[in-house]
Amino acid sequence: MAASGATFRRLLPLSRPLLSRLPAAAARPYGVRASDTGELVTHTGQVYDEKDYRRVRFVGRQKEVNKNFAIDLIAEQPVSEVESRVISCDGGGGALGHPKVYINLDKETKTGTCGYCGLQFKQKHH
């Protein structure tokens, strides 16, 4: 446990300058992208070079990529305004949801986000 904490503290200062040097275009674009070779890029960024042996799976057929990335679908959902200061989210759908979590909406400008499903909530102020 102590070793992982030391590694994290050692890597943390390195990540800040790196993040500040990234151009604004390095942010994840929404929707399906195509590589320079015309191959579709998956939601995890999987794309192979022309001479990569793993491309043998796609010889004679098109690589199938689901165009409905979950991050895009959640981004389309509007922020839900609620009356209470604390709300719970279980993902809806009973057994198809996720464990129930409670989200504090104390600050006036705060938008609470569910860590499991990404739905956003904001307290409606009168």
Q: What is the pLDDT of residues 83-117, one digit of tens each?
A: 988 999 998 877 888 999 999 988 766 888 898 88
Provide the mean pLDDT of the chain: 75
For residue 5, the SS3 value is: helix
Q: What angle do CA 69, 16, 70 make, to 5 degrees?
A: 10
pLDDT surpassing 50 at residue 26: no
Q: What angle do CA 124, 76, 122 make, to 5 degrees?
A: 15
pLDDT at 25: 42
Query: Has this prediction a pTM greater than 0.75?
Result: no
Residues 6+ apart with CB under 8 A from 39: 47, 48, 63
Number of H helices, E strands in the chain: 2, 7
